[in-house]
Structure 1
């Protein structure tokens, strides 16, 4: 497996094609990525869009993706990494892809001098929770999330 971090100078059309043609299920909430949306995302400061591919030369295959961003606390200079999503293709689950992506994100957090990494997972997402627990977190919280849809 190999990880790749995308930036505005990369071939975004290829990653968009790879994402839109990969095997996702409804829980991934991946609905037709577009180049303009990814370009807008990548133009924001501190974002990390990481993809995981098989290392099969010309036959490389997308295995998973993640989106995260480096944040700073407003009351001190501590940086932290917020992991928004880790999505593993349906046909690649239970093969170490999620763990590989997490390890790469933790490595990136260290490289950026982040003091902590934070991510959330739905309680019913047993596979994700087993993965995150297996990586020896410092804390596991029972957090209730709230979502507000804004009518425009």
Structure 2
């Protein structure tokens, strides 16, 4: 098994997006499409943070800055994931720490996210960073 001391965590940008040519199969819901990746990265408020080990992307976080006319910027953390063979080794925590550092550097007032009630690993991760769960209703609008 590769040594985690060689793990690199960084933001994917237009200049280093070739790192996405070697993504672990189980990381995204579907294969990464270059056209969609380019469109995502073209938006300065869209962030893609990756964990790379031995030139292979094994973890990721997608996030978006939520801007409004009446409040300071907030970061919406869409998804953090690590491939199954590397879970519970602190990689997601390192990714989250990196994302929160970027949010602070870029003047985001707070970060918000959601997860399923039964996703205990995610809940522990977020709570270990001081997050407090709130009750709310989630609706999906189909159109």
Could you tell me the TM-score, scaled by structure 1's length? Answer: 0.81
Q: Where does the alignment leave 5 or more consecutive residues of structure 2 unmatched?
A: 1-6
Deviation at 1:120, TM superposition (A): 0.7
- 1:132, 1:41 → 2: CA distance? 25
Deviation at 1:11, TM superposition (A): 3.7
Contact 1:81 1:116 in 2 (8 A): yes
Instruction: Give per-residue Cα distances to partners, 1:2-44, cap 9 Å, x unaligned.
Output: 21211123243x41x322xx152xxx66111111111111112
Aligned to 1:131, which of 112, 115, 125?
125
Aligned to 2:69, which of 68, 71, 74?
74
Q: Where does the alignment leave 5 or more consecutive residues of structure 1 unmatched?
A: none
Deviation at 1:122, TM superposition (A): 1.0
Could you tell me the TM-score, scaled by structure 2's length? Answer: 0.86
- 1:143, 1:74 → 2: CA distance? 24
Task: Report the RMSD for the aligned CA atoms in angstroms.
Answer: 1.7
Aligned to 1:18, which of 15, 22, 29?
22
**2:47 counterpart residue number:** 48
**1:2 counterpart residue number:** 8
